[in-house]
Structure 1
Amino acid sequence: MPFINSLIASIIAFLSFLIPFSSSSSSSSSSSSSATTTTNSIPQKNYDVFLSFGGEDTRYNFTDHLYQALLKRGNRTFRDDKLKRGEEIGSELFKVIERSRFSVIVFSKNYADSRWCLNELVKIMECRKEMGQIVLSIFYHVGPSHVRKQTGSFGEAFKNYKEDTKEKKEMVQRWRGALTEAANLSGEHVKDDG
C-alpha cells in the first residue's frame, strides 16, 4: 500500500501542476473567441479529470483511492459509477470525456473485457488527437506490452470479439489501435508485487 499511496501522490502532483495552466489557457481562448462561436469550437471543460477503468478490477481499491485523492485536492473528477455490464456507451458520456481536461486510464487485467471501456478509450484517444487532451496511462497489475500488443488477458478478451461483419471488424481495429496508442504513452506501472 505505501507504493500505491506514493503513486497516487505523484499522479496528484502531476495533474495539480498542469491543471492551473490548462484552466487559464482554456478560459482565455474561450473568452477571446466568444463573439464567433462555431459548432467546431472547443467544448467548455466541466471536469479536470476523467477516470477510465474496469470496474471489477479497481473500482473499490486503486481507482477509488485515486478518485478520493483527486477530489480532496479540489480536482473536478468524473468516474462513471452507473455503468452496468453489457450496456452501450451513451453520447452523454462521450460529452463528459470531451469536456474533461485530462483523462487517466487505469488499465487492469479485465479492462479489455469491457466494450464500454474500449469505446471510452477510443473517444479519449480521439480527444487527445483532436483537442489536445492530456492522457495518463496507469498499468495496474498488467504489463504495458500486454496492452500494446493485446497479449495475455488482453489477447484473451479479444478472442471473444467477433469480427463477422465489416462494422464489427472496424470496431475491433479501432479498439486495438487505441490500446496500442495509449500503451505507447508515458505512464505508470503498478506491478503485482508493488
Structure 2
Amino acid sequence: MASSSRSHSAQSKYDVFLSFRGEDTRDNFTSHLHAAFCRKNIKTFIDEELSRGDEISQAVLNAMKGSKISVIIFSKRYASSKWCLDELVEILECKNMNGQTVVPVFYQVDPSDVRNQTGCFADAFVEHEEQFKNMPEKVQIWRAVLTEASNLSGWYSMNTR
C-alpha cells in the first residue's frame, strides 16, 4: 500500500479535485473555496470550462485520478445530478484503489440526509428510481457511495463558518 500511495503522490497533477453541483454552489461557496485554495498556492481542479455530457469526460477522470485530495461539496440538489453521482462513484474508487484522501463538505444539508437519502436526497432518488427502473443496480451503487462518503470525516456548514 505504501508504494501505491507514493506513486500516486508522485503522479499528482492537482492537490485538490472539487466535486460539486454547479447550480447550487458554483457562484458562492465553491468559488470562495477555490479562491482560498488559489491564494495558498494549492493547485485545484474545478470544471469551469468543461462541457457537460451524458458521461464523465476523460479530462475530468484524469484530473480526479491525478489529484491527492477530493473535496465533495454535498448540497441540496447534489443527488439530483446523475453526473455528480457518477463522479462520486469514481472518487470513491480513487480513494479505495489509490488511497486518495476524500473530504466531504455538507453545504446546507444534514449529513444524515446524505447518509440515509432522506429529505431532499429522498426526492432525488424517487426520480432516479423511476428513470432507472430497468437498472436498479445503478441506483443502489449511488445510494451506497452516498452512504460511504457521508460516513467520512468532513465539514458541516451549519457547525462551521
TM-score normalized by the length of structure 2: 0.88
Q: 2:82 aligned with 1:112, yes or no?
A: no
**Pick aligned residue for 1:144 from 108, 111, 123:** 111
* Alignment size in residue pairs: 157
Note the aligned Cα RMSD (angstroms). 2.4
- 3-state SS, counterpart of residue 27 of structure 2: coil
Closer, same or farther in 2 for the Cα pair 1:114/1:84, shift >3 Å? farther
Aligned-pair CA distance for 1:93 = 1.2
Aligned-pair CA distance for 1:89 = 1.4
Aligned-pair CA distance for 1:91 = 2.5
Q: 2:115 aligned with 1:163, yes or no?
A: no
Q: Which residue of 1 aligns with 2:61?
A: 94
Higher-Rg member (1/2): 1
Question: Sequence identity of aligned pairs in percent?
Answer: 50
Q: Is the 8 A contact 2:115 2:150 kept in 1?
A: yes
Q: Write out aligned runs for 1:4-43 (5 A).
A: 29-30=6-7
Write out per-residue CA displacement over residues 47-103 of structure 1, whole angstroms, 9 at most, x where no aligned residue: 000000011111111110000010110111001113556642112211211100000
Unaligned runs of 5+ in 2: none
Aligned-pair CA distance for 1:163 = 3.0
Q: Write out aligned runs for 1:58-137 (5 A).
A: 58-83=25-50, 87-137=54-104
Alpha-carbon distance in 1 for matches of 2:159, 2:6: 43
- 3-state SS, counterpart of residue 47 of structure 2: coil
Which has the higher relative contact order, 1 or 2, with Cα contacts under 8 A spaced 6 or more apart?
2
Q: Which residue of 2 aligns with 1:3?
A: none
Closer, same or farther in 2 for the Cα pair 1:193/1:132, shift >3 Å? closer
Alpha-carbon distance in 1 for matches of 2:119, 2:50: 25
Alpha-carbon distance in 1 for matches of 2:86, 2:10: 20
Aligned-pair CA distance for 1:189 = 0.5
Alpha-carbon distance in 2 for matches of 1:130, 1:84: 27
Alpha-carbon distance in 2 for matches of 1:124, 1:137: 11
Q: Write out aligned runs for 1:165-184 (5 A).
A: 165=134, 168-184=135-151
Alpha-carbon distance in 2 for matches of 1:144, 1:164: 26
Q: Is the 8 A contact 2:9 2:68 kept in 1?
A: no
Q: Is the 8 A contact 1:49 1:76 kept in 2?
A: yes
